Amino acid sequence: MGNCGTREENAVVAAHSQVQQLQMFPGKNALSEKKHTRTFSDISDSSSLRNFEDTRNISIYTNVIAFTLFELETITKSFRPDYVLGEGGFGTVYKGYIDENVRVGLKSLPVAVKVLNKDGHQGHREWLTEVNFLGQLRHPNLVKLIGYCCEDDHRLLVYEFLFRGSLENHLFRKTAAPLSWATRMSIALGAAKGLAFLHNAERPVIYRDFKTSNILLDSDYTAKLSDFGLAKAGPEGDETHVSTRVMGTYGYAAPEYVMTGHLTARSDVYSFGVVLLELLTGRRSVDKTRPSKEHSLVDWARPKLNDKRKLLQIIDLRLEGQYSVRAAQKACSLAYYCLSQNPKARPLMSDVVETLEPLLGSGPSDGPIQTIQSFTTSRLPDYRTAHGLTRNGVNCRASPSTKCSPAVPACRVR
């Protein structure tokens, strides 16, 4: 108990007192997205992301509010059980509503309040990481951090409230209506844009915990990445990877990261491939209720992704009649290469975005129905031809940088 005792915690308290006067007036919130949102040049400036673990940086996040514990107790009705939205490793998430009754000048909007479980030390580190990353990063496909609270040993985060909850619930909850092909491809594209935005920095941000439960959906099913507690700043200079303790979720983590602890942007690409496979099949990444050979979705499905006789058999039966064979082939081929055992054979997330964009308008009548063989030999997805990838992923173009991250001067995400 007591005040924040460590050097980092004292810095948060100091920053808290500086930021606490911040008020969000409707007029100021109406500023253009261009003014409120960091551009690629803001993000790619290595100095803007160099000190993620230095809590003193919190004081410069002028678009994040320092709430008091009393204010957050007020908006959640003292954290009433019927206000609970969900629970995770970090703690419990409650629904709330901020307006001028909470603090004069606050814009009225629903929020989600995440309360740190005080029993674990790792939780504070994750809290700190989320404030530092989301205090700097703004993108339509990242969840927006509204504010935070640090009082005594209380750690809370306040996010925009996303009406439809997690992708996990929509894909796997039995009572949920099945997502259409178009919606699934739109979600995949939005999530890919979020990852590409993180990766396309001079020093990339590696998300490290990409999975369906961390993809939240707003009212029109726009995907937003949430939960940045495990995110890491990527390698700098001549470094090829970040060495770190292996953390994440079984079934989504890249095999080379699990084996070595070496983390790169390509680790996120693998995780994206797992989620794309879940979207295509309607199956969980790990499902022990299925026959033993089907426990691991990747082990079961990946060999079929480039097999002309089996590819269409793994597509979710609830999607029948909603997609063209050509669109299914492209999506499966993309998943196949994202899930490559060789990290360098995986596409960049910016290439993933370019491959997924044409699939949004693809319906059952779009384009001629063709065999897998003719597709793979004559109509390869753009990222495969551009990067020299062959069917087995061995003959791939050299990475543009010694780091597993894009070496491009500007973000190509649209």
Of the residues 45, 54, 152, 209, only one is catalytic, namely: 209
Structure token digits, residue 139: 């993108």
pTM recorded for the entire structure: 0.75
Write out the DSSP string of 1-50. --S--SHHHHHHHHHHHHHTT----HHHHTS-HHHHS--HHHHH-GGGGT
The pLDDT, as a whole number, for residue 395 is 36
The pLDDT, as a whole number, for residue 362 is 64
Are residue 154 and residue 242 in the same domain, yes or no? no
Q: Is residue 174 situated within a structural domain?
A: yes
| Among 117, 105, 107, residue whose Cα is nearest residue 79 | 117
From CA 250, how far away is CA 352, in angstroms rounded?
23
* Residues 40 and 411 sit within 8 Å (Cβ to Cβ): yes
Are residue 71 and residue 186 in the same domain, yes or no? no
From CA 244, how far away is CA 257, in angstroms rounded?
9
Q: Is residue 399 situated within a structural domain?
A: no
Are residue 281 and residue 378 in the same domain, yes or no? yes
Are residue 321 and residue 180 in the same domain, yes or no? yes
Are residue 78 and residue 126 in the same domain, yes or no? yes
Q: Is residue 405 situated within a structural domain?
A: no
Are residue 352 and residue 262 in the same domain, yes or no? yes
Structure token digits, residue 399: 């990475």
Counting Cα atoms < 13 Å in the Cβ hemisphere of 285 gives 19
The pLDDT, as a whole number, for residue 182 is 95
Q: Is residue 402 situated within a structural domain?
A: no
The pLDDT, as a whole number, for residue 3 is 44
The CATH number linked to 33 is 3.30.200.20
CA-to-CA separations, 118 to 73, 154, 197, in angstroms, rounded: 16, 7, 32
Domain ends where: 121, 144, 160? 160
Which residues of the chain register pLDDT less than 70?
A: 1-62, 120-122, 202, 237-240, 243, 362-414
The CATH number linked to 183 is 1.10.510.10
Active site (annotated) includes residue 351: no
From CA 350, how far away is CA 268, in angstroms rounded?
12
* 83: containing domain: 7-160
Are residue 250 and residue 102 in the same domain, yes or no? no
* Residues 211 and 110 sit within 8 Å (Cβ to Cβ): no
Are residue 340 and residue 221 in the same domain, yes or no? yes
- State the greatest distance between any 2 C-alpha atoms of the chain, in Å, as a whole number: 69
Domain ends where: 160, 179, 205? 160
The pLDDT, as a whole number, for residue 33 is 36
- Tell me 106's DSSP state: P
> Would the annotation count 34 as a binding residue?
no
Are residue 287 and residue 355 in the same domain, yes or no? yes
Domain ends where: 97, 132, 160? 160
Torsion of CA 308, 266, 257, 296, to 10 degrees: -30
The pLDDT, as a whole number, for residue 175 is 84
Q: Is residue 56 situated within a structural domain?
A: yes
Are residue 34 and residue 13 in the same domain, yes or no? yes
Pairing state of beta strands 91-98 and 84-87?
antiparallel
The count of structural domains within the chain is 2
Q: What's the burial of 108, exposed, middle or buried (CB within 10 Å: 0-12/13-18/19+)?
A: exposed
Q: Is residue 119 situated within a structural domain?
A: yes
From CA 127, how far away is CA 261, in angstroms rounded?
22
DSSP H or E segment with residue 85 = strand 84-87
Are residue 259 and residue 156 in the same domain, yes or no? no
The pLDDT, as a whole number, for residue 364 is 67
The pLDDT, as a whole number, for residue 404 is 37
Q: Is residue 410 situated within a structural domain?
A: no
Q: Is residue 67 situated within a structural domain?
A: yes
Are residue 142 and residue 177 in the same domain, yes or no? no
Q: Which residues pair with 60 in a beta bridge?
A: none
